[in-house]
Chain A
Amino acid sequence: MALSVARRARTVSRAGWWTGRRRDHLLGYLFVAPQLAGSLLFVFLPLALVLTYSLNEWNVLADTFSFVGADNYRRLLSDPNVPSVLMATGLFSAGLVVLNLSLALLLAVLLNQRLRGTTVFRTLFFSPVVVSLVAWTIVWGFLLQDNGGVNAILRIAGVEGPNWLRTGSWATLSVIVVQVFKNVGLNMVLFLAALQGVPKELFEAARLDGASAWTRFRRITLPMISPTVLLTSIITVAGSLQVFAQIAVLTQGGPGTSTTVLVYYLYQQAFQFHHFGYGATLSVLLFVIVLALTLLQWRMRRRWVFHEA
């Protein structure tokens, strides 16, 4: 009896050293190691390198790497294309966010009505999310040709449509609309989940007080779902700055530079003209913009968002 207690005490103390906190610490480090090493190697190292490269010029053919100081940044300031690129980027992001969020909210409110068959409609609105991005873009490119499906339908209705992808102002709108229909389903689903979380009693009380449908929406629904509005706007703004395939397939940045957004310009400079140093400089600019916008939205949270979920 005494012997077995002593033995057990020994095993417990040894196990205590190994299974307790130390082992947990070690396991913790092991569990996060792949993610941490990966982030360092594929996120933070490239981020440091992009800053270095923006101060150098790399010639891929001659394989020479030479320090050029602030030359690339001087070029950025004097590049006549940069203002129009920034303009196109801003226009594109603003248009995309406004259209995407308002359509997503409209669809979510419609689907939140007590109607039969809303699941079918939800599936249909969501379906483009799972369609391959380039496939979706190609079909719209086909539809938006001068003699394509959209203009054919307009012609039947007696309207002469513009050449959507080859006319300056229409091209930006076309790319935005194609992107909105592709991804609005995601935001719609997030809004729908938020709407279903709004307590019904609030509406009952407001109805008894004689509040109109619009007042109920503005005074109850919007404040209650404001955390989701913030989340979706952050995701959508960040996504709008990364739009590349749609522009590469639909307009190649044209006509002129009207749809050349920053990511597309960066790609052209680095990978088509092999100006890697300047491409890195444009990457730094993109990073600064993303960072500034995210911080701005995060700060606006205090003023806008009713409560944190």
Chain B
Amino acid sequence: MRRKTLLYGLLCVLCVPFVFPTWWMATSSLKPVSEIFAFPPTPWPGRPTLEAYRQVFALQPFALQYWNSLYIALVVTVGTLAVSALAGYAFARIRFRGSNVLFVIVLTGLLIPSEVTIVPLFQLFHGWGLTDTHWPLVLVPVLGAPSVLATFIMRQFFLVLPHELEEAAAVDGLGRLATFRRIALPLARPALGAVAIFTFLHSWNLYLEPIVFLSSPEKFTLPQALTQFVDAYGGPMWNVQLAAASLTALPVLVVFVLAQKQFVEGLAHTGLKG
């Protein structure tokens, strides 16, 4: 009994740095400027106001930036799923000449962090006239290093998928393409889910690439936009930044809480166990 109380106490204390920041972000975004640094700190806004939220949309094209982040993340997720499911399936299931060599070549990409190639990528896209567009933010994750990890995960999943179903499908006269589409892909739903989740989060969090490639505010993505709410001296407008941060973080958090089982277990069991 005492051991249980001790464990619960420890867990509750350990929770604080994980939970408090999010709660502090949401409540402080509702406080007037005069109150956000008040001492003693107010756990709940004394005079709640939506002024910071009004400013978020007044100072920047925030709705447009929100849309940019959302549609880029969705396109990247769908694209990565397609590329990695195809390649992962082929590397795991189809015997074709040179497949092992090609797999090693692709996998080597995991050793090359995107930060290493950011300078030449910028120069390449500059040469193609695609800087200050969303193309680099879509093309590089879908086809470059981030999707290599996705392909690896899909391959690991297809490797352990029982052969019998596909063999039965072949006996029934289903071709390879149809087997992939109607048998293998539906069975791979957990792995696809895990890949979708971490791909979406990766794109949603991207910061270095947007600030390198994008220069006009109406092209910005959310992480980049959040840091732009500064006063005339370059100091952060805290309440506005916190309001924008809340708008960015809370919807994803709500989705997570509703689907936390799929998130956590998907990542643990199919995601990174390789």
Contacts and interface: CB of A to CB of B under 8 A. Distances in A.
A53 B119 CA distance: 9
A45 B128 CA distance: 15
Given A27-B90, A39-B106, A153 B143 contact: no
Contacts of B120: 45-47, 49-50, 53, 280
B56 interface: no
A266 B208 CA distance: 11
A237 B14 CA distance: 24
A148 B224 CA distance: 23
Interface string B116-147: 11111111101000000000000110111101
Contact of B207 (A29, A32, A245): A245
Interface string B87-112: 10111001111010010011001011
B242 A142 contact: yes
B interface secondary structure, majority: helix
A132 B148 contact: no
A14 interface: no
Interface string A269-309: 01100001001100110110011001000000000000000
B112 A244 contact: no
Given A115-B4, A133-B223, A235 B124 contact: no
Residue from B40, B84, B267 with most neighbouring chain A CB atoms (10 Å):
B267
B105 A39 contact: yes
A38 B83 contact: yes
Interface residues of A, number: 94
A235 B82 CA distance: 24
B264 A242 contact: no
Interface string A97-138: 000000000010010010100010111111111111111101
A81 B89 CA distance: 47
A95 to B, nearest CB: 16
A259 to B, nearest CB: 16
A39 B148 contact: yes
B142 A242 contact: no
A31 interface: yes
Interface stretch (B47-55, B159-167, B252-260): B252-260
B134 to A, nearest CB: 15
A248 B226 CA distance: 12
Name, among A124, A149, A238, A263, the residue most crowded by chain B CB atoms within 10 Å (CB to CB): A124
Contact of A135 (B25, B82, B236): B25
Q: How large is the interface on B (under 10, 10 to 19, 20 to 34, 35 or more residues)?
A: 35 or more
A31 B109 CA distance: 18
Interface stretch (B15-23, B57-65, B185-193): B15-23
Interface string A181-207: 100011001101100000000000000
Contacts of B119: 50, 53, 266, 270, 276, 279-280, 283
A231 to B, nearest CB: 7
Contacts of A31: 86-87, 89-90, 94
Contacts of A156: 40
A131 B116 contact: no
A25 B96 contact: yes
B207 to A, nearest CB: 4
Contact of A155 (B37, B39, B253): B39
A100 to B, nearest CB: 13
Contact of A266 (B115, B201, B205): B115
Interface in B231-274: 236, 238, 241-242, 244-246, 248-249, 252-253, 255-257, 260, 263-264, 267-269, 272-274
State the 7 A-B residue pairs at the shortest beta-carbon distance, nearest first: A38-B143, A28-B96, A42-B144, A31-B90, A46-B117, A49-B120, A135-B245
21 contacts: A24-B94, A27-B90, A27-B96, A35-B84, A38-B147, A39-B109, A43-B112, A50-B116, A124-B15, A125-B15, A127-B253, A128-B22, A130-B263, A133-B207, A177-B17, A181-B17, A190-B272, A270-B118, A270-B122, A287-B113, A294-B111
Interface of A: 19, 23-25, 27-29, 31-32, 34-39, 41-47, 49-50, 53, 58, 60, 107, 110, 113, 115, 119, 121-136, 138-143, 145, 147-149, 152-153, 155-156, 177, 181, 185-186, 189-190, 192-193, 231, 235, 238, 241-242, 244-245, 248-249, 263, 266-267, 270-271, 276, 279-280, 283-284, 286-287, 290-291, 294
Interface of B: 4, 7-8, 10-11, 14-15, 17-19, 21-22, 24-25, 28, 36-37, 39-41, 82-84, 86-87, 89-91, 94-97, 99, 102, 105-106, 109, 111-124, 126, 139-140, 142-145, 147-148, 151, 175-177, 201, 204-205, 207-208, 211-212, 222-224, 226-227, 236, 238, 241-242, 244-246, 248-249, 252-253, 255-257, 260, 263-264, 267-269, 272-274
